[in-house]
A and B are shown apart, each in its own frame.
Chain A
Amino acid sequence: MEAIERVKAARAKGRPTGTDFIHKIFTDFTELHGDRRYGDDKAVVSGIARLIDMPVTVIALERGHDTTDKIKRNFGCAHPEGYRKALRQMKLAEKFHRPVVCFIDTSGAYCGKSAEERGQGEAIAENLMEMMTLKTPIISILIGEGGSGGALGLAVADEVWMLENAVYSVISPEGCASILWKDPSKSAEAAECLKLTAGDLLSLRVIERVFKEPGEDFTELYETIRTELYSTIQKNKALPTEQLLDHRYHRFRRIGWDGR
């Protein structure tokens, strides 16, 4: 499949969103709202849930289902308070020794006036720093679109996984095409150049694992993810904290630098 087809699939109407993954994979989900600083960003859904028998913190970027929901969620584009809400949950997870699972699906962090006024750059930057040394296991899964810094703000993890039709990119294909060729309609070529598919990212060693998508019915996929999350988190929980954090640091430290 061509890269642009993956981009279309990742954005497709009806594709399961962050909250679907939360409800299908975990039990006892208890949503916790707000960043305790400014407000409650509904593009980020967060709380505590049970993974089989293990309490975990779950955080999802949620783009919304129907039109009303999408508007409420700002189409999955978080404001700074969304990243700060996520960080608050992660700090709670650290305190109570709960692992963190993040689901990522966003075209990017919100590029609006309000977001700039409240420090979008600072909010993402702080997450990158804090996640790097958060003393509990973190797994991030790209389930749809992984748009640039807005996706990375929840993706500093021990392992990063992707669904077969998810994409992860430094810039949208449309944005890239308008910069490169002054023509956003050349997004198919741009998508190819950007190396944004799960397969590309696996070979660039930016992600650890790709999950095959079984078509429209994700039931089986949810089960697989549940099992894989459980065993990977158990394995990471068993590591001494220093080793876990060292691994996380070097996981990012070597990217783009292997063998150079």
Chain B
Amino acid sequence: MLKKSLFKRPKNELETYDSKHTKTASPTVPDEMCSICPSCHATLFTSDLSDNHHVCPKCGHHFRVNARQRISMTADDGTFSEMDADLQSENLIGFPHYDGKLKNARLESAEKEAVVCGTCEIDGFPCALFVMEPYFMVGSMGTVVGEKITRLFEYAAKEGLPVVGFTVSGGARMQEGILSLMQMAKTSGAVKRHSDEGLLYITVLTDPTTGGVTASFAMEGDVIIAEPGALVGFAGPRVIEQTIRQKLPAGFQRAEFLQDKGFVDAVVSRLEQKRYLAKLLSLHAKEAE
């Protein structure tokens, strides 16, 4: 059963968005009440889907969720306390259309930037938490994302807290030019300093995690877990196909593939993630002095 569903993983939702929506949309079904699973095509009540952490109850497909939904699925009720919520990007190098893009991203995601940071408890274990926002320029990393992540790790290092981070990103944000590339080094430095304090960092890779985020803090966790079917890679599949002039095999760069190649510790369903994270946090808990 499980095996069967693994082979049915859809492609990256971004790539197949148009075709699947034109094919399956039915004019008689109110959008807000029903969703159609892009993997098994089952028609699902939206309320059932959200009760099931946005995982298809029929085939286990993981729907994309925003940062706030993830926080509510992960943090104990009422424990999340946000940090640096007001930091906003500016058009630092005068890149064309960037101001407009930022404005749209803020509207679409209802967030000020592509990552939400703070502290919380997971089954009573305190930790620092960052969650990237897929609806803000596909979670791309510019200077504000870099600064927020860096501040979070610095804070966690100072307070002796473990860090749990959910990644979703198209990579470094082109519109901030070289300054976004530099965030890879900056965040990696902060992760290293946190690590050198003997503190735990767990990353949860979600669909899609690519480019400069993969090549920095996403792959720097002490423990790296991934959501089933998540696309995780340095180069995107289209770029690779253009480079090697070949089609990539099914499942390439998916979470299960990464585990098979030794780059992911475990593929963990969203329904199990909170329990899994709590268990890891408890196994790393410092003994009371």
How big is chain A's contact interface, by range? 35 or more
Interface pair B147/A109, CB less than 8 Å apart: no
Distance, CA A118 to CA B248, complexed state (A): 15
Distance, CA A252 to CA B176, complexed state (A): 15
Interface pair A133/B178, CB less than 8 Å apart: no
Distance, CA A69 to CA B179, complexed state (A): 33
Distance, CA A195 to CA B193, complexed state (A): 30
Q: Does A111 contact B (CB under 8 A)?
A: yes
Q: A193-237 interface mask toward B, CB cutoff 8 Å, 1 = contact, 0 = none? A: 111100011001010000000000000000000000000000000
Which residues does chain A contribute within 8 Å of B95, judged by CB atoms? Answer: 193
Binds A, one of B5-13, B107-115, B231-239: B231-239
A73: min CB distance to chain B, Å: 16
Interface pair B178/A201, CB less than 8 Å apart: yes
Q: Does B243 contact A (CB under 8 A)?
A: yes
Q: Does B244 contact A (CB under 8 A)?
A: yes
Question: Within B145-194, which residues are at the interface with A (CB < 8 Å)?
Answer: 146-147, 150, 172-174, 176-186, 188-193
Closest partner residue, chain B, to A194 (CB atom): B177
Q: Does A39 contact B (CB under 8 A)?
A: no
Interface pair B239/A111, CB less than 8 Å apart: yes
Which residues does chain B contribute within 8 Å of A156, judged by CB atoms? Answer: 185, 188-189
> Chain B contact residues: over half helix, strand or loop, or mixed?
helix
Q: Does B27 contact A (CB under 8 A)?
A: no
Q: A109-124 interface mask toward B, CB cutoff 8 Å, 1 = contact, 0 = none? A: 1111101111111101
> Chain A contact residues: over half helix, strand or loop, or mixed?
helix
Interface pair A122/B172, CB less than 8 Å apart: no
With contacts A109-B234, A152-B181, A195-B177 taken as known, whether A252 is within 8 angstroms of B218 at the C-beta atoms is no
Q: Does B85 contact A (CB under 8 A)?
A: no
With contacts A125-B219, A152-B185 taken as known, whether A113 is within 8 angstroms of B234 at the C-beta atoms is no
Interface pair A116/B178, CB less than 8 Å apart: no
Closest partner residue, chain A, to B232 (CB atom): A121
Which residues does chain A contribute within 8 Å of B211, judged by CB atoms? Answer: 149
Which residues does chain B contribute within 8 Å of A118, judged by CB atoms? Answer: 261
Question: Within A221-260, which residues are at the interface with B (CB < 8 Å)?
Answer: 248-249, 252-253, 255-257, 260
Closest partner residue, chain A, to B192 (CB atom): A129
Distance, CA A200 to CA B220, complexed state (A): 31
Question: Within B133-153, which residues are at the interface with A (CB < 8 Å)?
Answer: 142-143, 146-147, 150
Which residues does chain A contribute within 8 Å of B78, judged by CB atoms? Answer: none
Which residue of A112, A119, A122, A195 contacts B244 across the interface (Cβ within 8 Å)?
A: A112
Binds B, one of A14-22, A27-35, A163-171: A163-171
Which residue of B189, B219, B240 contacts A253 across the interface (Cβ within 8 Å)?
A: B189
A87: min CB distance to chain B, Å: 13
Question: Within A74-130, which residues are at the interface with B (CB < 8 Å)?
Answer: 109-113, 115-122, 124-126, 128-130
Which residue of A132, A170, A260 contacts B180 across the interface (Cβ within 8 Å)?
A: A170
Distance, CA A132 to CA B182, complexed state (A): 13
Interface pair B220/A125, CB less than 8 Å apart: yes
User: 7 A-B residue contacts at CB 8 Å?
Assistant: A119-B261, A156-B189, A170-B178, A204-B93, A252-B189, A256-B147, A256-B179
**With contacts A129-B189, A152-B184 known, what are 15 further pairs, Cβ within 8 A?**
A119-B262, A120-B234, A124-B234, A125-B215, A125-B216, A125-B220, A128-B185, A128-B189, A129-B192, A130-B192, A133-B193, A170-B178, A171-B172, A194-B174, A253-B150
